[in-house]
Amino acid sequence: MTHQENSAPQPEPHQPADSQGVRLIMTAVIQLQDLDKASHALEEAGLAFTHLSSTGGFLGRRNATLLIGLRPGQEEQAVTILRKTCRRRVEYISMPLEGSPYQMPLSTPVNVGGATIFVLPVERYEEIQ
Ligand code: 2BA
């Protein structure tokens, strides 16, 4: 047995999330029009978040992605806030009219939003001072 194996157990390289720590990260893609309302409501509820500028892969339009660090018991609160503040809208995309002799594209409606939400577990949460 080596000296190292005999010595006292080494501390973990980082502290596991305690009962008050951030346990989940919620990623929510929302429309730009809803960003102010959603941000204010999250702030009022005391939920910490980061806002990233993003672009939808399908429509290519700018949207916003919120990263919301969640402590135990905050997940439903966050979903409720996004439900109240983000709404569905109809956007239109131009598609060429198949078989038509005219050049006029067909305007096709696409439903967008309210919010596309992913919730992932957090393996490590640390605030470096
Ligand atoms: P976009 O990718 O620009 O998509 C805008 C809307 O177009 C979608 O609304 C959906 O109704 C439609 N759409 C998207 N892909 C389509 C396809 N392949 N065929 C037909 N229609 C399609 P939402 O589902 O409400 O999504 C709003 C935005 O949320 C998306 O903007 C994207 O930025 C994000 N998003 C949605 N689903 C996602 C996913 N599985 N992974 C990552 N981001 C996602």
Q: Ligand 1 pocket test: which of 108, 116, 117 has the largest number of ligand atoms within 8 Å of its C-beta?
A: 116
Q: Report domain extents, the chain.
A: 20-121
pLDDT for residue 105: 77
Summarize pLDDT for 80-104 with one digit per residue, the tens: 999 999 999 999 998 877 777 777 7
Query: How many angstroms does the Cα of residue 53 sit away from the middle of ligand 1?
Result: 16
Burial label, 104 (beta-carbon count in 10 A; 0-12, 13-18, 19+): exposed
For the CA of 59, the closest atom of ligand 1 is: 3
Q: Which CATH class is domain 20-121?
A: alpha beta
Closest to 72 (Cα-Cα) out of 49, 51, 47, 50: 47
Ligand 1 centre distance from Cα of residue 58 (Å): 6
Average pLDDT over residues 103-110: 83
